[in-house]
Amino acid sequence: MSLNPDSIRAAHERIRAYIHRTPVLTSSRLNEASPATAGLFFKCENFQKIGAFKARGATNAVFSLDDVTALRGVATHSSGNHGAAVARAAKLRGIPAHIVMPSNSAKVKIRAVESYGAHIVFCEPTEKAREATCAEAIKETGATLIH
């Protein structure tokens, strides 16, 4: 998938019903202190669904899947926001989500993923373990990796 104005517009159309339109703020004080001539802009994605910008990418990825592929579900590994975003997008689409989380994930992050009905698989808290456990979940379920 190439990144260009048309693909950005298409992604926006695909996800617009599922995300918040978050504000953009500026700071005259920071603009005065910055060498940037165009000014600084702050996109408040902390007001987004799940509290992070990850909702945009995950929702776009899940809703970009064709129906046959989507029915097999989606999988990812995450210790927090990305997992919650994928779980939420899968719930919205009505498909299974398999989220691999390290065993030391924050309880609030685990609860967020659980609240969207995802199947959570815990693993050792290493990148290697996360990737291997996710690959196994994909092998067992036929789910598509959302990364």
Going from N- to C-terminal start, the domains of the chain cover 5-50, 53-145
The yes-or-no verdict on residue 24 having pLDDT over 70 is yes
Given its phi and psi angles, is residue 20 left (phi above 0), alpha (psi -120 to 50 degrees) or beta?
Answer: beta
The CATH-assigned architecture of domain 53-145 is: 3-Layer(aba) Sandwich (3.40)
For residue 82, the SS3 value is: helix
- 57-77 as b/e, with b when 16 or more CB fall inside 10 Å? bbbbbbbebeeeebeebbbbb
Catalytic residue among 2, 34, 78, 79: 79
pLDDT at 58: 99
Give Cα 55 distance to the centre of its chain. 5
38 — pLDDT class (breaks 50, 70, 90): confident
How far apart are alpha carbons 121 and 134 in whole angstroms?
Answer: 8
Largest CA distance in the chain: 55
DSSP state of 49: G
Average pLDDT (109-131) is 98
Taking only the tens place, the pLDDT of each residue in 60-118 is 999 999 999 999 999 999 999 999 999 999 999 999 999 999 999 999 999 999 999 99
Q: List the single range of 1-5, 26-30, 41-45 with lowest mean pLDDT.
A: 1-5
pLDDT tops 90 at residue 37: no
The average confidence (pLDDT) of the chain is 96
Question: At residue 14, does pLDDT exceed 80?
Answer: yes
**Is 7 in the active site?**
no
Among residues 49, 54, 78, 105, the one annotated as catalytic is 54
Is residue 54 part of the annotated active site? The answer reads yes
Q: State the pLDDT at residue 1.
A: 65
Looking at residue 138, its pLDDT comes to: 99
